[in-house]
Homo-oligomer: A and B are copies of this chain.
Amino acid sequence: MPPSPRVELITTGEELLIGLTANSHLSTIGDRLARRGVRLQRNIVVPDDAESIGAQFRESWSRADIVITTGGLGPTSDDRTREVIAEALGQRLVFDGEAEAAIRRRFEAIGRKMTPNNLRQAYRPEHGAIIRNPHGTAPGIWVEQDGKVLIMLPGPPNELIPMLEDEVIPRLAARGLLGSGPRHVQIRTAGLGESALETMLEPVFASYPGVEVAYCAHLGCVDVRLSSPDGRYSPTELQIIANHCRERLGGDFVCFGEDSLVKLIADHLRLRNQSLAVAESCTGGLLSNAFTDFSGASKLFRGAVVCYCNDCKVQLLGIPECLIKQHGAVSAEVAAAMAAGVAEHLEADYGLAITGYAGPCCREVRNRAGTVYIGLHTPHGIWSRKVNYPGSRDAVKQRAVNAALDWLRRELVRASSPEALPAPSVPETDPAREEALRLLGIKKK
Chain A residues in contact with chain B, CB under 8 A?
Answer: 13-24, 26-34, 39-48, 52, 56, 74-78, 109-113, 115, 117-118, 135, 156, 158, 161-162, 193-196, 198-199, 213-218, 223, 225, 278, 282-289, 291-298, 301-309, 311-312, 315-316, 345-347, 358-362, 388, 390-395, 397
Contact = CB atoms under 8 A, between A and B. Distances in A.
A238 B341 CA distance: 56
Contact of A115 (B15, B74, B196, B291): B196
Contact of A156 (B26, B217, B283, B296): B217
A76 B215 CA distance: 8
A306 B304 contact: yes
Given A77-B198, A291-B284, A306-B288, A28 B19 contact: yes
Given A22-B24, A113-B196, A284-B291, 10 more contacts: A14-B225, A17-B43, A20-B223, A78-B213, A110-B388, A115-B199, A284-B297, A288-B306, A309-B346, A311-B346
Given A43-B44, A78-B215, A316-B316, A347 B311 contact: yes
A277 B223 CA distance: 38
Contacts of A361: 295-298
Nearest to A309: B302
B296 A158 contact: no
Contact of A17 (B30, B45, B47, B285): B30
A218 B394 contact: no
B315 A309 contact: no
A392 B135 contact: yes
B292 A284 contact: yes
Given A20-B31, A23-B22, A346-B315, A301 B293 contact: no
Contact of A285 (B44, B292, B302, B309): B292
Contacts of A358: 292, 295
Q: What secondary structure prevails in chain A residues at the interface with B?
A: mixed
A41 B31 contact: no
Contact of A390 (B21, B135, B308): B135
A193 B113 CA distance: 11
A311 B302 CA distance: 8
A218 B359 contact: no
A298 B364 CA distance: 14
A392 B19 contact: no
A201 to B, nearest CB: 10
Given A22-B27, A45-B26, A302 B312 contact: yes
B284 A218 contact: no
A34 B16 contact: no
Contacts of A21: 27, 216, 218
A293 B284 contact: yes
Nearest to A134: B390
A432 B46 CA distance: 43
Contacts of A304: 285, 304-306, 308
A215 B33 CA distance: 30
A13 B308 CA distance: 38
Contacts of A309: 298, 302-303, 346
Contact of A308 (B46, B302, B397): B302
A63 to B, nearest CB: 10
A115 B195 contact: yes
20 contacts: A13-B216, A18-B33, A22-B26, A41-B52, A43-B44, A74-B195, A78-B213, A115-B198, A117-B199, A135-B390, A135-B391, A135-B395, A288-B306, A291-B308, A292-B308, A293-B393, A298-B308, A303-B306, A315-B345, A316-B346
A75 B195 contact: yes
Contacts of A39: 14, 17-18, 47
A48 B214 contact: yes
Contacts of A223: 15, 20
A282 to B, nearest CB: 7
A272 B159 CA distance: 41
Nearest to A48: B214
B195 A395 contact: no
B214 A14 contact: yes
